[in-house]
Amino acid sequence: MLMRTIAVAAALMCASTVWCAWPDKPVRMVVPFAPGGGSDIVARLLAQKTGALWNQSVVVDNRAGGGGVAGTNTVAKSAPDGYTLLLTSISIAYAPALYSALPYNTERELAPCVLLVVQPSILGVHPALPVKSVAELVALAKTKPGEIRYSSGGAGSAPHLAAEIFRSTAGIQLTHVPYKGGGAIVTAVLAGEVQMLFAGVASLLPHVKAGRLRALAVTGTTRSKAAPELPSIAEAGLPGAEFDGWYGLLLPAATPRDIVARINADYNKVLAAADVQERLLASGFEPLGGSPQKFAGYLQAETRKWTKVVRDANIRIE
């Protein structure tokens, strides 16, 4: 009778605390972009670490397409059981304004779990451009409206929006030249096809150090730990033009709170590990973490900000 009472009590405890049994099978982490990019670097490192913590495989599933829309929709429509995670980028904040229609509703179908990392960009220019500061770049652009060309990964890409908020804040005209892929936008500047770009710190720093590219500022709200010698965009004289790329983890909206809390706690634990921080910083990412509520508030603020930028610039993807 005593053993039966204990068994019943244990069952009731696990019924009230879902994470007693979770996870008891592999977890899928959907990355809505192609392999090899920043999201993939973050996803694979964290998947390895959380998989070891959970004693289960965390399988990274790259589902590229539609600027992240296809993979995001996959997670939004998945079973809310904690076995399908979405590791996505800042694109989830501006997608509702960028696309005329989305197959999912971010606010209703997805639940923020944890803000993982931030990755500021570098404002870089070709060395032949006669500017050595943001102020000089803005002054030159005002004397040559539309003559300075910048590269991006296409309409609505993060480099495009970073340049657009820079252009509108500075009150200048620039010419947008879209390319396919992050590598191509850097190559275009190095070759002199365009004169400037915004791209992640890690991807541009080697070219800056080799003298093939001149860095004017970082776009984050503060200086980057990877390039502390560079001023932030506000320090360089253009407050309001900040652009922080970031990656976060979301789940299907109806996922039980206990599972959300477990995943959040474990990702915070992984992000706090010294070896993880070292590897992220070496790749140009700054680890964050925090509560689901903190990420939810951050996502709401980012969505408001980028909705205004996209609409003011009249950028639309049908």
Task: Say what the pTM is.
Answer: 0.85
Sign, CA torsion 121/288/206/203? negative
CATH of domain 27-119+244-312: 3.40.190.150
Q: Are 27-119+244-312 and 120-218 equal in CATH topology?
A: yes
CA angle 119, 122, 125 (to 5 degrees): 160
Predicted confidence (pLDDT) per residue in 92-110, tens digit: 999 999 998 899 999 999 9
- CA pair distance 186, 178, nearest whole angstrom: 12
Q: Which residues contact 297 (CB under 8 A, 6 or more apart)?
A: none
Fold of the 120-218 domain? D-Maltodextrin-Binding Protein; domain 2 (3.40.190)
Domain chopping of the chain, boundaries: 27-119+244-312, 120-218
Mean pLDDT of the chain: 91
On the question of a cis peptide bond just before residue 23, with omega within 30 degrees of 0, the verdict is yes
For 129-140, write each residue's pLDDT tens digit. 999 999 999 999
pLDDT per residue over 193-203, tens digit each?
A: 999 999 988 88
Q: What is the pLDDT of residues 262-317, one digit of tens each?
A: 999 999 999 999 999 999 998 889 999 999 999 999 999 999 999 998 998 888 88
